[in-house]
């Protein structure tokens, strides 16, 4: 209380004492701040002085703490320690960790290297005047050695100088790596092919055969070695060599990938036979069967082999890109096929072609602004008529020292959708919301009658304001909640931001149908898949009929829909009990077998034969299946065409599950000869049924079904191989995994029941145990 009274008196009672107190406090504050300021200046002066001393001693500058040169580390066995708080990087580093400096203190051999195992340039400055050994054998006449660990070039103990005398960092720089040689046995792994100045006699010495950094035996001087075979470059040691990797040429080459067989004089990085313009980015096999036999060698290039300029991007394998057919891009004209996406943007910077207006997205006479992504900048640069992005370009900037992701420009914000070089972040305009690809609630009748046609429409908002291709799927959760994907037709909207998509049930079934839509956007500025729209519950009253699988008369080769009461000459009416896809008022007509045609005829029990497990008599499918018949010449290598892109003859037909009828595949006129006949159904591996002879003038060829299709089910992407991707596709469509979108339900529904579930997964796993996992 006494204190409070004194304080109150001090504030409200002016006096000489109070004035003096205030003055005293101000003097004290001034003194303190003045002392701080002066002491800081003194410290700076000291540091500058130390810096000067350090430079005078040959150092590179002063560093405040040990961490500034923490990249140095000791090798095992060294007793010296690095650093310890010294301020001068070079001098203290030399004293403590190696090298030889003005204090005549040697660096212990083999005790220094940087964090990457590479020689650090500054360390070479440690190796200065003093006793340097006379010529050493490894260095050749007139070149002295230095007890210095030249890790960069693979030497473990000896480096060579251009001349005897003082070693300086410039020796390495001016003379290049070749002059810095070392005994082969001392080269580190991965560098044994680089010491060309010394190691010109690998094999005569019987040296251990070395693999280069790609794991390839690249010794160019062994073509005539004791174990060469058929003139091929199989560099293997003679009997005196220790620890041979392999013993015969054939064993070298039969192992795909590791070894390389070339006809002659091929050296690592310059495989003339393999690097002939289309070497893939990782491995390349021009031809041959992998055993290096015959006239054409088998080559496997590694990633260090320069790929053609047009392949340097990774987009060649992306959907919507076309693999380039050119090997250089000297002009735009040669790059027409190089990596063009649907927006006429060329993403590979090596093949830039001025984009042209896409007439589909920018119709003649249209208004607005039409934009492109430039090929190598990934920002919109040009503006024509039709679009909106204009100046909304992203940019990279250094990430702030505090590590946060705040853009310097307050109108921009960090985007994780782009990568910049290390230490930088990508900033995109805040005016663009890149994550807004949304779908409104699906609209349409919520209480239709079963068996009627019903159309449901969703409105799509694409706030990225970028003209792009959008695809939508309508999900019908009618069956068990996992959903049925139904492709929606995208209709033109009033603006580029607002479009609609619709789907029509040709004969909707009774029951509950929760519907929602999910859209994907090809626009690289937005996430590939937008959020699902709200669910519309549709309750379909009974009274209609469930749809049946109709015969696809419109799309089946040999059949046609005609708008008349009778078929044309050469055709016969076809009226299956399931009905056809012909429109009202049309009839389905089947083409008659013409004279000279060749017809592949399947037996009446073809459906059950092809889709029944031979071991369990279990029929997998219960609905019609599209079947494709392929004819290849009997000598054709089927492995070269796994997707059936280039058969000599091909015919698609429908194999009915409900009617037991003979199915004919009319191939038309076929050149007489022997053919491999194969059958393929969607999701099933292609099956070689045998080799058949087509006689002159054609005829009906009854097909004996030697193999069924069902054991090879699960090829969701029709690659003719069952692999991890098929498994992943099925897994993603089961609806059992959160935040997962089904990417291919039609392919994943292996038993055709409209649902992708554990049963389909089990079918796939069982198929893996049955089959050889590749078709044919």
Partner 1 sequence: MSKRTLFLIFALFLITFVLLIMAFYQPQAAPKVTRIIPTPVSVAQTVLSFGNPTIATTSSITTLNYSLPVNIDTATNRVTSVQLELQYDPAVLTNVKVSVSPLITKPDILLNQIDPVTGRITYAFGVGLTGKSITGKQTVAYITFSAKAKTLEKTAIIFLPKSLVAAENVSQSVLKRTTDGLFTVGEVSSTGSALSQ
Q: Which of residues 710-769 bind partner 1 (CB under 8 A)?
A: 717, 723-725, 727-729, 731-732, 734, 736-737, 739-741, 743-744, 758, 761, 765, 768
Q: Which of 350, 349, 306, 301 is closest to 330 using CA atoms?
A: 350
- d(Cα 679, Cα 774) in Å, to the nearest integer? 14
CB of 391 vs partner 1, minimal distance in Å: 14
CB of 332 vs partner 1, minimal distance in Å: 20
Pick out residues in 521-580 that bind partner 1 (CB under 8 A).
524, 528-529
CB of 765 vs partner 1, minimal distance in Å: 6
Q: Which is nearer to partner 1, 367 or 422 (CB)?
A: 422
Q: Which of 763, 741, 602, 614 is closest to 683 using CA atoms?
A: 763
Q: Which is nearer to partner 1, 76 or 84 (CB)?
A: 76
- d(Cα 241, Cα 554) in Å, to the nearest integer? 72
Q: Which is nearer to partner 1, 545 or 740 (CB)?
A: 740
CB of 419 vs partner 1, minimal distance in Å: 6
CB of 638 vs partner 1, minimal distance in Å: 17
| 411 lines the binding site for partner 1 (CB under 8 A) | no
| 394 lines the binding site for partner 1 (CB under 8 A) | yes
Q: Can you name the residues that pair with 588 across neighbouring β-strands?
A: 561
CB of 280 vs partner 1, minimal distance in Å: 8
| 37 lines the binding site for partner 1 (CB under 8 A) | yes
| 247 lines the binding site for partner 1 (CB under 8 A) | yes
Q: Which is nearer to partner 1, 565 or 739 (CB)?
A: 739
Size of the site for partner 1 (CB under 8 A): 84
Strands ordered across the beta sheet of 484-495: 437-439, 454-462, 498-505, 484-495, 470-476, 511-521, 536-540
- d(Cα 196, Cα 154) in Å, to the nearest integer? 12
Beta-strand pair 673-680/625-633 = antiparallel
What would you report as the CA-atom Rg of the chain, rounded to the nearest whole angstrom? 38
Residue 467 in contact with residue 361, Cβ under 8 Å? yes
CB of 443 vs partner 1, minimal distance in Å: 27
CB of 737 vs partner 1, minimal distance in Å: 7
CB of 462 vs partner 1, minimal distance in Å: 18
- CB under 8 A: which stretch of 160-168, 412-420, 472-480, 613-621 binds partner 1? 412-420
Q: Which is nearer to partner 1, 99 or 714 (CB)?
A: 714
CB of 433 vs partner 1, minimal distance in Å: 18
CB of 242 vs partner 1, minimal distance in Å: 6
CB of 722 vs partner 1, minimal distance in Å: 8
769 to each of 134, 714, 722, 763, how far by Cα in Å?
70, 12, 11, 10
CB of 442 vs partner 1, minimal distance in Å: 22
| 288 lines the binding site for partner 1 (CB under 8 A) | no
Residue 193 in contact with residue 210, Cβ under 8 Å? yes
CB of 43 vs partner 1, minimal distance in Å: 13
106 to each of 117, 127, 148, 298, how far by Cα in Å?
20, 8, 10, 52
Q: Which is nearer to partner 1, 395 or 613 (CB)?
A: 395
Report the residue from 251, 293, 626, 664 that binds partner 1 according to the rule CB under 8 A.
251
Residue 415 in contact with residue 408, Cβ under 8 Å? no
Q: Which is nearer to partner 1, 171 or 760 (CB)?
A: 760
Report the residue from 256, 264, 622, 695 that binds partner 1 according to the rule CB under 8 A.
256
Pick out residues in 311-330 that bind partner 1 (CB under 8 A).
314-315, 317-319
| 376 lines the binding site for partner 1 (CB under 8 A) | yes
Report the residue from 84, 242, 359, 365 that binds partner 1 according to the rule CB under 8 A.
242
CB of 228 vs partner 1, minimal distance in Å: 18
Q: Within 10 A of 409 (CB to CB), how many other CB atoms are there?
A: 12
- d(Cα 731, Cα 736) in Å, to the nearest integer? 8
Q: Which is nearer to partner 1, 560 or 716 (CB)?
A: 716
What 3-state DSSP class applies to 699?
strand
Strands (E), 634-670: 649-655, 663-669
CB of 150 vs partner 1, minimal distance in Å: 19
Pick out residues in 654-713 that bind partner 1 (CB under 8 A).
none
Q: Which is nearer to partner 1, 23 or 548 (CB)?
A: 23
Helical (H) or strand (E) element with 625: strand 625-633
Q: Which is nearer to partner 1, 211 or 619 (CB)?
A: 211
Q: Which is nearer to partner 1, 365 or 403 (CB)?
A: 403
* C-alpha 648, offset from chain centre: 33
CB proximity list for 216: less than 8 A, separation 6 or greater:
258, 259, 260, 268, 302
What DSSP character marks residue 333? G
Q: Which of 379, 393, 387, 474 is closest to 429 using CA atoms?
A: 393
CB proximity list for 55: less than 8 A, separation 6 or greater:
61
Task: Mark residues 336-375: x for contact with partner 1 by CB under 8 A, - for none.
Answer: -----------x----------------------------
Pick out residues in 605-644 that bind partner 1 (CB under 8 A).
none
| 43 lines the binding site for partner 1 (CB under 8 A) | no
> Is the four-CA dihedral 428, 430, 432, 434 of positive or negative sign?
positive
Residue 545 in contact with residue 451, Cβ under 8 Å? yes
Q: Classify burial at 10, counting beta carbons within 10 Å of its beta carbon; exposed 0-12, middle 13-18, buried 19 or more.
A: middle
Q: Which is nearer to partner 1, 173 or 398 (CB)?
A: 398
665 to each of 365, 557, 626, how far by Cα in Å?
48, 9, 12
- d(Cα 219, Cα 31) in Å, to the nearest integer? 77
| 33 lines the binding site for partner 1 (CB under 8 A) | yes
- d(Cα 601, Cα 648) in Å, to the nearest integer? 18
Pick out residues in 118-177 that bind partner 1 (CB under 8 A).
none
| 421 lines the binding site for partner 1 (CB under 8 A) | yes
What DSSP character marks residue 689? E
- d(Cα 301, Cα 282) in Å, to the nearest integer? 7
CB of 721 vs partner 1, minimal distance in Å: 9
Q: Which is nearer to partner 1, 378 or 601 (CB)?
A: 378
HSE-CB for 717 with a 13 A CA cutoff: 13
- d(Cα 485, Cα 712) in Å, to the nearest integer? 24
| 116 lines the binding site for partner 1 (CB under 8 A) | no
Q: Which is nearer to partner 1, 497 or 725 (CB)?
A: 725
HSE-CB for 76 with a 13 A CA cutoff: 0
Report the residue from 75, 168, 357, 420 that binds partner 1 according to the rule CB under 8 A.
420
Q: Can you name the residues that pair with 537 across neighbouring β-strands?
A: 514
| 64 lines the binding site for partner 1 (CB under 8 A) | no
DSSP calls for 521-576: E--TTS-SBPPPPPPEEEEEBSSS------B-TTTSTTEEEESSSSPPTTEEE---
| 426 lines the binding site for partner 1 (CB under 8 A) | yes
| 21 lines the binding site for partner 1 (CB under 8 A) | no
Q: Which is nearer to partner 1, 527 or 547 (CB)?
A: 527
Q: Which is nearer to partner 1, 210 or 678 (CB)?
A: 210
Task: Mark residues 188-227: x for contact with partner 1 by CB under 8 A, - for none.
Answer: -xx-----------------x-xx-xxx------------
CB of 768 vs partner 1, minimal distance in Å: 6
Residue 620 in contact with residue 613, Cβ under 8 Å? yes
Report the residue from 282, 385, 614, 659 that binds partner 1 according to the rule CB under 8 A.
282
Cα dihedral 111, 115, 120, 126, rounded to 10, equals: -30
Per the structure block, which two tokens stand in for 441?
Answer: 């609630």
Q: Which is nearer to partner 1, 147 or 744 (CB)?
A: 744
């Amino acid at each position: 209380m006494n204190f409070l009274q004194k304080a109150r008196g001090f504030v409200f009672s002016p006096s000489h004492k109070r004035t003096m107190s205030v003055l005293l406090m101000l003097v004290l504050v001034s003194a303190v701040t003045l002392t701080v300021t002066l002491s800081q200046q003194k410290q700076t002066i000291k540091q500058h002085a130390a810096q000067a001393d350090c430079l005078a001693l040959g150092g590179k500058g002063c560093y405040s703490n040990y961490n500034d040169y923490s990249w140095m580390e000791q090798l095992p066995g060294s007793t010296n320690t690095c650093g310890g708080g010294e301020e001068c990087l070079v001098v203290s580093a030399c004293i403590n960790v190696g090298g030889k400096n003005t204090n005549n203190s040697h660096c212990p051999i083999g005790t220094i290297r940087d964090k990457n195992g590479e020689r650090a340039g500054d360390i070479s400055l440690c190796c200065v005047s003093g006793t340097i050994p006379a010529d050493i054998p490894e260095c050749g006449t007139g070149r002295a050695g230095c007890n210095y660990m030249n890790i960069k070039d693979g030497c473990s103990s000896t480096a060579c100088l251009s001349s005897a005398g003082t070693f300086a960092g410039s020796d390495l720089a001016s003379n290049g790596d070749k002059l810095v040689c070392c005994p082969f046995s001392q080269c580190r792994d991965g560098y044994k092919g680089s010491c060309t100045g010394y190691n010109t006699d690998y094999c005569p010495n019987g040296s251990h055969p070395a693999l280069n950094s790609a794991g390839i035996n690249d010794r160019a001087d062994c073509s005539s070695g004791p174990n060469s075979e058929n003139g091929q470059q199989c560099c293997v040691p003679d009997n005196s060599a220790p620890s041979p990797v392999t013993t015969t040429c054939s064993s070298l080459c039969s192992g795909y990938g590791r070894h390389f067989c070339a006809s002659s004089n091929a050296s690592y990085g310059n495989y003339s036979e393999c690097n002939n313009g289309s070497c893939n980015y990782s491995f390349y096999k021009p031809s041959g069967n992998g055993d290096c036999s015959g006239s054409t060698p088998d080559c496997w290039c590694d990633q260090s082999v320069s790929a053609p300029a047009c392949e340097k991007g990774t987009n060649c394998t992306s959907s919507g890109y076309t693999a380039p057919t050119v090997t250089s891009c000297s002009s735009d004209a040669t790059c027409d096929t190089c990596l063009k996406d649907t927006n006429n943007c060329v993403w590979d910077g090596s093949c830039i072609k001025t984009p042209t207006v896409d007439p589909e997205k920018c119709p003649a006479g249209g208004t607005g602004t039409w934009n492109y992504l430039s090929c190598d900048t990934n920002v919109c640069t040009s503006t024509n008529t039709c679009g909106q992005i204009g100046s909304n370009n992203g940019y990279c900037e250094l990430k702030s020292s505090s590590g946060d992701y705040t853009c310097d420009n307050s109108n921009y914000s960090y985007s994780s959708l782009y990568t910049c070089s290390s230490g930088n972040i990508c900033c995109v305009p805040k005016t663009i919301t890149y994550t807004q690809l949304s779908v409104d609630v699906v609209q349409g009748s919520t209480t239709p009658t079963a068996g009627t046609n019903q159309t449901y429409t969703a409105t799509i908002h694409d706030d990225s304001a970028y003209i792009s291709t959008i695809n939508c799927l309508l999900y019908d959760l009618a069956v068990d909640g996992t959903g049925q994907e139904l492709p929606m037709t995208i209709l033109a909207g009033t603006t580029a931001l607002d479009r609609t998509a619709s789907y029509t049930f040709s004969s909707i079934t009774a029951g509950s149908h929760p519907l929602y839509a999910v859209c994907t956007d090809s626009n690289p500025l937005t996430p590939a898949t937008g959020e699902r729209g709200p669910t519309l519950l549709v309750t379909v009253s009974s009274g209609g009929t469930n749809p049946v699988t109709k015969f696809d008369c419109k799309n089946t080769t040999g059949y046609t829909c005609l708008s008349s009461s009778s078929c044309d000459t050469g055709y016969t009416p076809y009226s299956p009990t399931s009905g056809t896809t012909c429109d009202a008022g049309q009839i389905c007509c089947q083409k008659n077998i013409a004279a000279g045609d060749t017809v592949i005829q399947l037996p009446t029990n073809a459906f059950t034969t092809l889709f029944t497990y031979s071991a369990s008599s279990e029929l997998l499918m219960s609905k019609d299946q599209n079947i494709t018949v392929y004819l290849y010449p009997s000598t054709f290598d089927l492995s070269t065409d796994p997707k059936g892109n280039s058969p000599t003859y091909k015919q698609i037909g429908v194999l009915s599950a409900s009617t037991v009828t003979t199915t004919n595949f009319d191939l038309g006129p076929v050149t007489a000869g022997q053919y491999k006949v194969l059958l393929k159904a969607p999701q099933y591996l292609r099956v070689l049924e045998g080799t058949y002879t087509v006689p002159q003038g054609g005829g009906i060829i009854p097909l004996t079904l030697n193999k069924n299709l069902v054991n090879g089910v699960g090829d969701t992407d029709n690659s003719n191989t069952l692999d991890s991707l098929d498994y992943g596709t099925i897994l993603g469509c089961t609806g059992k995994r959160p935040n997962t979108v089904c990417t291919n339900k039609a392919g994943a529904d292996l038993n055709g029941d409209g649902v992708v579930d554990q049963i389909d997964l089990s079918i796939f796993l069982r198929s893996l145990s049955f089959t050889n996992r590749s078709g044919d």
